[in-house]
Amino acid sequence: MDELTQLRELRADVPVPDRAALAPGRALLTDAIAGRSRRTRRLRSDWRIASLGAVAAITTAALLLPQVLDTSSPRPSAPATVAGDLDLSGPAATLGRAADFLERQEAPPEPRPDQWIYLREKNPEQEKHWARMPAEIKEQMGGEGYSPHSWIPYDDEAAENDPSDTDHRTARESYRFAAGLPEDPEALLTKVRKAFPSGDGENGEREDEAQHNFRALSVLIQSYPLPPDALARIYRAMATVEGVEVTDHLIRDAAGRQVIAVTRAYDVNSRRELLIDPVDYSYAGERDVVTRTHEVLGPEGLAPTVHKRGDLLMNIARTEAAVVDAKGRKP
């Protein structure tokens, strides 16, 4: 049973810990739901628990109910795009067309060291967590909880030079790493795997090469900003990864937008979806979707939880990203 599954078996009748027990986790909660800033680019193999672990450490009484994917409604029609007609016939066609479009775009200047990266996200799960959180915990946090807005320093020298933080990439590191990636997909994948290492079984889950490629590329694609030609090379490499597919119709993300889903099986029961904007081919979000109805054993004495085909275990939409001149400023 993975850690995400264990999180979902927690029940609301578990006693809420006292103030002393809550204190160590307060900083973790603030990091996870108030900013998703420095930990956004962490490279853990089990990426599905990254945004949930700190919340569970404090609010162990919360029950994480999966959202349900509506498969009965008609497939949405394609929106107007500046990239031309969409081709969702497969990864080579879809990501190749995305790369062609991006290669024609003029690259904006690299952000200045004093600038910040502003991100806005729609995350229904974390919104629910904050709404259900006991008033006592909210009071301890001074009302600072979940927010869809976050600001990340572009130039974070302290993080870059922290020898204890080996699995983190700052916005500047990601930008410059992407800019230096080679054209050849195989050489690019080799370089990306080295930069975003896999787990060894004890520190992070072991992955085969295809899993490693998909995860590492996904982490890099989420970085903002990236030079358009670099993102084009990344997409061409993604199209060569074994097991990668493209959903043959646009899907609805957490913000209700129609987006492209680039997918790969996570395990026998679920798949990972990297969401891409069909207008400019930028990163639009991420989802984990249950692909096979199955039961998951809960803690002793509690009934198993049934995860039904189509349930969404994670559903996050990035609705805005921009370079701004100060923390707290919006475009």
Q: Which of 28-42, 218-232, 233-247 is least confident?
A: 28-42
For CA atoms 256, 276, 221, 197, the dihedral sign is positive
Length of the chain: 331
pLDDT digits (tens, 9 = 90+) for 14-57: 333 333 333 333 333 333 333 333 333 444 444 433 333 333 33
Q: How far is CA 228 from CA 117, 187, 233, 252, in A?
A: 17, 19, 9, 25
Pairing mode, strands 67-68 and 311-324: antiparallel
Q: Which of 54-58, 162-166, 170-174 is least confident?
A: 54-58
Distance CA 48, CA 215 (A): 11
Tokens of 288: 């984990």
- Give pTM, 2 decimals: 0.75
Q: Which of 88-92, 162-166, 282-286 is least confident?
A: 162-166
Distance CA 146, CA 153 (A): 19
Q: How far is CA 235 from CA 32, 80, 261, in A?
A: 28, 22, 13
Distance CA 107, CA 102 (A): 9
